[in-house]
């Protein structure tokens, strides 16, 4: 049973002001089993982010099905579930990570990660210690813990985002261009983090414009241009572990 199965997905944007409808993407099909990592590649504008944001309901999907095997609700179509169900899934099962940080202002790095746990109903003490563990795990400098993240670098923001998402132990994690505009050193760090997540059994969907970087890390690659799913050789982390 795949954890995520996307069939015939498509998305259009209608801008009433300009009386225009634009097609962002269409005909997307792929499946993903639990514990797998799928990379979606394609040039910018090909609709990669649209897929990811539609899975997370930041965009309203309008064609096809996004079937997800939920712990709480069983098999659901993410294009159809109620808003309240989607909020539950976001809180407990599906995480979304990008390089952009949109968080409550005037909240320190440490508070943000702690709050992510508190809103799940975790006890304050546990939340505090788990938050610290996550910050250490994703190698955020302790000097940064008690400062506001708006002045963080791109790489630091990304790692904070990953810490906030993964501290909740999501079953499915969506990574929106996690390596874009990072230097080589930060990219290597991101790669290590993804390896860590994978070895913890998290199912991952990631979009990348440079796939070489993900070489050997993805189990599957979906190419936006040819609309095909390529199985990668099981090399790298997955065979080692």
Partner 1 sequence: MYETPILQVKNLQKQYGPGCCHCNDLENSMLEKNFCKACGTVYAVRNLSLELYPGEILGVVGESGSGKSTMMQCLYFDTDITSGAAYINRPGKELENVFDLSSQQKRFIRNHDYGMVYQNPVHGLKMNFSSIGNIAEKLIAAGNRNVADMEETAKRLLTNVHIPLHRMKEEPENFSGGMQQRVQIAKALSNNPPILFLDEVTTGLDLSVQAKVLDLIKKIQRELQISMIVVSHDLAVIRMLADRTIVMLNGEIIEEGLTDQVLEDPQHAYTQQLVYSLL
| Binding residues vs partner 1 (CB under 8 A) | 13-17, 53, 57-60, 72-73, 82-88, 102, 104-106, 115, 118-119
Give 57 or 159: the residue with its C-beta nearer to partner 1. Answer: 57
Give 82 or 153: the residue with its C-beta nearer to partner 1. Answer: 82
What's the closest the beta carbon of residue 104 comes to partner 1, in angstroms? Answer: 6
Give 1 or 18: the residue with its C-beta nearer to partner 1. Answer: 18
CA distance 214 to 212: 5
What's the closest the beta carbon of residue 135 comes to partner 1, in angstroms? Answer: 20
What's the closest the beta carbon of residue 179 comes to partner 1, in angstroms? Answer: 22
Instruction: Count CA atoms within 13 Å of residue 162 on its CB side.
Output: 32
DSSP state of 179: T
What's the closest the beta carbon of residue 87 comes to partner 1, in angstroms? Answer: 6
Is the C-alpha dihedral spanning 87, 62, 97, 100 positive or negative? negative
CA distance 217 to 178: 14
Judged by DSSP in three states, 170 sits in coil
Which tokens is 75 given?
A: 């098999």
Give 102 or 239: the residue with its C-beta nearer to partner 1. Answer: 102
What's the closest the beta carbon of residue 216 comes to partner 1, in angstroms? Answer: 34
Give 59 or 145: the residue with its C-beta nearer to partner 1. Answer: 59
What's the closest the beta carbon of residue 54 comes to partner 1, in angstroms? Answer: 9
Give 53 or 159: the residue with its C-beta nearer to partner 1. Answer: 53
DSSP state of 184: H
Beta-strand pair 203-208/37-41: parallel
Sheet holding 74-77, edge to edge: 20-32, 4-15, 63-70, 74-77
Give 8 or 13: the residue with its C-beta nearer to partner 1. Answer: 13
What's the closest the beta carbon of residue 88 comes to partner 1, in angstroms? Answer: 8
Is the C-alpha dihedral spanning 91, 142, 153, 47 positive or negative? negative
The per-residue DSSP string of 34-65 comes to TT-EEEEE--TTSSHHHHHHHHTTSS---EEE
DSSP state of 214: G
């Amino acid at each position: 049973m795949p954890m995520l199965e996307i069939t015939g997905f498509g998305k259009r944007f209608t801008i009433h002001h300009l009386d225009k409808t634009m097609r962002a993407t269409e005909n997307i099909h792929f499946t993903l089993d639990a514990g797998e990592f799928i990379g979606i590649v394609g040039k910018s504008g090909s609709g990669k982010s649209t897929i990811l944001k539609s899975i997370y309901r930041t965009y309203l999907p309008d064609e096809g099905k996004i079937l997800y095997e939920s712990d709480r609700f069983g098999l659901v179509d993410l294009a159809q579930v109620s808003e309240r169900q989607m909020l539950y899934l976001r809180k407990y099962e599906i995480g979304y990570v990008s390089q952009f940080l949109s968080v409550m202002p005037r909240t320190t790095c440490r508070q943000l990660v702690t709050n992510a746990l508190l809103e799940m109903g975790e006890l304050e003490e546990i939340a505090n210690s788990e938050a610290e563990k996550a910050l250490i795990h994703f190698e955020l400098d302790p000097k940064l813990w008690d400062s506001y993240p708006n002045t963080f670098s791109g790489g630091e923001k990304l790692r904070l985002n990953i810490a906030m998402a993964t501290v909740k132990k999501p079953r499915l994690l969506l990574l929106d261009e996690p390596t874009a505009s990072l230097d080589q050193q930060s990219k290597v760090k991101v790669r290590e983090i993804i390896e860590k997540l994978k070895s913890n059994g998290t199912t991952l969907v990631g979009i990348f414009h440079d796939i070489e970087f993900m070489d050997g890390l993805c189990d599957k690659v979906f190419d936006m241009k040819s609309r095909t799913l390529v199985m990668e050789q099981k090399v790298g982390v997955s065979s080692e572990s």
